[in-house]
Amino acid sequence: AAKNGAGCSNSCLFQRHGFNFHSHPNSADVISTVEFSQSGEFLATGDKGGRVVIFQREPQGEYNVYSTFQSHDPEFDYLKSLEIEEKINKIRWLPQLHSALFLLTTNDKTIKLWKVSERDKQPEGYNLKDEEGRVKDISKITSLQVPVLRPMDLLVEASPRRVFSNAHAYHINSISINSDCETYLSADDLRINLWNLSITDRSFNIVDLKPDNMEDLTEVITVAEFHPHHCHLLAFSSSTGTTRLCDMRSRALCDQHAKLFEEAVDPASRSFFSELISSVSDVKFSHSGRYLLTRDYLSAKVWDLNMEKKPVETYQVHDYLRSKLCTLYESDCIFDKFECAWNGTDSVIMTGAYNNFFRMFDRASRRDVTLEASREVCKRRAVLRPRRVCIGRKRRESDICVDSLDFRKKVLHTAWHPTDNIIAIAARNNLYIFQDRHSPSGHHGVHRIEQETAPQLEDTPPQ
């Protein structure tokens, strides 16, 4: 099995808003992004209803709900007659410097900086207000008292500290915090902007792919991310399957890339779907900063920053779907954007697939495993068995035929704890958290995965 974290266990399932998995979920409850904090103590999810739910890791290892707040509401752009959805596209944590937490959230147009803090004391004994908060008659005040702080039940508050808006003509698809902890980038289909966290009324355009004539448009930006250590480096990928590395030291406008990562395609193998399946849906720097992980529709690739001509590793995620591309195109599934993630030591990568499957690849042994995140499979204390998709006849009872895959069930959003072998998997409106369990032999096993009880976000009968 995969080393250093490809296997996970002691899992727990969080079901959002008491939803019955066997019925059709409210679209507002569908999880749209998942992100661990830098320490891994907190985990944030955003949904299509504009809500953010933060989970905190307890001393015994389980994650429980810490705070819930409404980040974005639906808006309407009257100048363009355009409705702006409240869906949370991305969440990014700022490094925690003191007891308060800070995170960026964004929908299609507006980015917000949130402060999440605890309060366990409240002031009492005001001179100018009564106990109910009403202003007293100053003429009747005959003495002064010193206000005091009284203990109260712990209250977790979320308040917006900055709102960054009116900088993108197209839908925002990425935000990324710079390693200098002072700036961040936001990217839409054609532009990337650089912001200072303290300045909300202006940003600097650092990448602009918009041609003078929109008929000459050949590609759009799909994702962008800063380097984890070098504040002058950033990478962005496009719908043509290319990934560009830009150096902000060379010039203010980074339209001229420093490096271009692109794998040559055999012209004889080109088809109508070639460009669609080569579009990069996610890009992640390794923790070391040496490698880039990119995900296109059918595969995940690892690139060495020192070698542009081809990836050093290529992993086929679900190559068995090549015969289904026509059907996937007609159902719009071919436009699904799967995310990818590194484990804490950069030795294992993870990404999602259809039928609520997610896949892990060990870079050293080149072994892989397919696991399923669903309420039907993840029973309490049950062993989660590896799954296998077969094209022909099933060889084992646990095999599933490619024609039986449910393309409505998909794992698009995944996250890996920055140091521990803990992963978060979002499947529609359900969040699964799996934790590695050490086998008696001492190694991390991918074939031993257990599930613990699932705390509910609301008081609903157990399903």
In the predicted model, what is the mean pLDDT of residues 322-328? 92
Q: Which of 86, 113, 112, 110 is nearest to 102 (CA)?
A: 113
Cα–Cα distance between 350 and 36 in angstroms, integer? 15
The string of pLDDT tens digits covering residues 390-437 is 887 767 777 888 888 999 999 999 999 999 999 999 998 999 998 876
Give every strand in the sheet of 148-164, ordered side by side: 90-93, 101-106, 111-124, 148-164
Q: Which of 357, 240, 245, 346 is nearest to 302 (CA)?
A: 346
Domains and CATH numbers, the chain: 12-31+162-436 (2.130.10.10)
Q: Which of 178, 184, 181, 157 is nearest to 54 (CA)?
A: 157
- Residue 285: per-residue pLDDT: 97
Residue 222 has pLDDT above 90, yes or no: yes
In the predicted model, what is the mean pLDDT of residues 136-165? 86
**Better-scored residue on pLDDT, 21 or 180:** 180
- Residue 45: per-residue pLDDT: 96
Average pLDDT, the chain: 85
**Better-scored residue on pLDDT, 392 or 224:** 224
Provide the pLDDT confidence category of residue 165 given band limits of 50, 70 and 90: very high
Judged by average pLDDT, the poorest of 107-116, 209-218, 268-277, 346-355 is: 268-277
The string of pLDDT tens digits covering residues 235-278 is 999 999 999 999 999 988 888 899 999 988 777 778 888 889 99
Cα–Cα distance between 81 and 73 in angstroms, integer? 17
CA atoms within 13 A on the CB side of 441: 6
Provide the pLDDT confidence category of residue 461 given band limits of 50, 70 and 90: very low
The widest CA-to-CA distance across the chain, in whole angstroms, is 93
Cα–Cα distance between 28 and 249 in angstroms, integer? 42
Provide the pLDDT confidence category of residue 381 given band limits of 50, 70 and 90: low
Sequence-distant (6+) residues with CB within 8 A of 261 are 242, 243, 244, 245, 292, 294, 303, 308, 311
Judged by average pLDDT, the poorest of 8-17, 103-112, 270-279 is: 8-17
